[in-house]
């Protein structure tokens, strides 16, 4: 296993659109394992391959307190979203120290492949529903701050650039 480097906003590679995985093979299983290790070390509850500069449709999520509910979502699709929306405070490992409210569907049903290449479906609500929508945005090249006002986005960019220079 290996820890992967997480890209920081505003890095233009965070805006690349991920391609579908053609075959779930050992390379993808190693990516899933390395992404899980990186997510737990951060620590975070989810990670999209885009954030580690791999532009393929792979996500890992574990919203449990005990690290017992690791799930891989390969080629995920949202096949149903509730009309009910909910506002939740979000953060992102690619935008450290920034937390703000985002409105999303309260519940979603996701279809994806697991590490064995088997199709499964999962009904998501609560933090899991927030997280899967946040991660699927990453695969489309979208970071949660893009839902915020232009003024906030400008401030966040300037704060992140200052932080990067201080390193
Ligand atoms: O660790 C994370 N926590 C979180 C909290 C609220 C909403 C979304 C998230 S995802 C984030 C990890 C991350 O940046 N994934 O892309
Ligand atoms: Ni994120």
In degrees and rounded to multiples of 5, residue 107 shows phi and psi of -130, 145
Q: What's the rounded Cα separation, in Å, for the pair 77 and 140?
A: 12
Two tokens at 56?
Answer: 């393929």
Indicate whether 149 pLDDT > 90.
yes
- Average pLDDT of the residues of the chain: 97
- Are 90 and 115 within 8 A, CB to CB? no
pLDDT of residue 167: 76
pLDDT of residue 21: 98
Instruction: Give the closest residue to 143 by CA, choosing from 12, 3, 5.
Output: 12
Share of the chain above pLDDT 70, in %: 100
CA of 154 to the centre of ligand 2 (A): 18
Chain segment 112-134, per-residue pLDDT in tens: 999 999 999 999 999 999 999 99
Q: Which of 103, 125, 135, 146 is catalytic?
A: 135
pLDDT of residue 165: 86
* 135 catalytic per annotation: yes
pTM, to two decimals: 0.98
**CA gyration radius, the chain:** 15
Confidence band for 85, pLDDT divided at 50, 70 and 90: very high
Indicate whether 166 pLDDT > 90.
no
Indicate whether 55 pLDDT > 90.
yes
- CA distance readout (Å), 35 to 31, 74, 80, 111, 155: 6, 13, 26, 20, 29
Q: Which atom of ligand 1 is nearest to the CA of 92?
A: 14
pLDDT of residue 3: 98
Query: Is 44 a pocket residue for ligand 1 (Cβ < 6 Å)?
Result: yes
pLDDT of residue 121: 98
CA of 101 to the centre of ligand 2 (A): 14
Chain segment 87-107, per-residue pLDDT in tens: 999 999 999 999 999 999 999
pLDDT of residue 1: 83
């Amino acid at each position: 296993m290996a820890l992967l480097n997480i890209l920081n906003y505003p890095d233009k590679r965070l805006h690349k659109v991920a391609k579908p995985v053609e075959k779930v093979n050992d390379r993808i299983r190693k990516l899933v394992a390395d992404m899980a290790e990186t997510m737990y070390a951060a620590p975070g509850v989810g990670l999209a391959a885009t954030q580690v500069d791999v532009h393929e449709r792979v996500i890992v999520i574990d919203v449990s307190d005990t690290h017992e509910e690791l799930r891989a979502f390969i080629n995920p699709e949202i096949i149903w979203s509730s009309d009910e929306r909910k506002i939740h405070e979000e953060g992102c490992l690619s935008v450290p120290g920034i937390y703000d409210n985002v409105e999303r569907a309260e519940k979603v049903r996701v279809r994806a492949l697991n590490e064995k290449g088997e199709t499964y479906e999962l009904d998501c609500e609560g933090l899991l529903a927030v997280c899967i929508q946040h991660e699927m945005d990453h695969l489309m090249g979208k970071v949660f701050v893009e839902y915020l006002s232009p003024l906030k986005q400008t401030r966040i960019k300037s704060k992140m650039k200052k932080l990067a220079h201080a390193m």
